[in-house]
Amino acid sequence: LAPISNIWDTLLKNCRENYKPGSYLTIDEQLVGFRGRCPFRMYIPSKPNKYGIKIVMCCDSGTKYMVDAKTYLGKGTYPPNIAAGTFFVKELIQTVKGSNRNLTIDNWFTSI
């Protein structure tokens, strides 16, 4: 992500600071199709784009607007004593923590 890291970081900063999400949020993963060389490119046969970069996003359920996102960089890029799903949920809810919003997640995050 080095070539676009400045743009990506600015986008996320603007999403966090300039949008007030509604009462219902969802966290889910998105596989952005990519076939180039990348150490954290994933292969998920059940997705339409089978190869790509996995991005975990927190979105407003009503408007589909992205509130925050984290790129999955592979094993070993999050604390070893915490499950990946738990790590991503805790990171993504920082901007809305304690605001009494309803959060919906899928089975990848069920270790929480």
Domains of the chain by residue range: 2-107
CA distance 6 to 14: 12
pLDDT tens-digit readout, 38-71: 888 889 898 888 899 999 999 999 999 999 999 8
User: pLDDT at position 63, please?
Assistant: 92
User: pLDDT at position 108, please?
Assistant: 78
User: pLDDT at position 59, please?
Assistant: 93
CA distance 13 to 15: 5
The residue among 64, 69, 71 whose CA lies nearest residue 94 is 69
CA 13 and chain centroid, separation: 14
pLDDT tens-digit readout, 3-12: 778 898 999 9
Position 102 pLDDT exceeds 60: yes
For β-strands 66-71 and 42-43, DSSP reports them as: unpaired
Q: Which tokens is 59 given?
A: 């979105």
Q: Tell me which DSSP letter residue 107 carries.
A: G
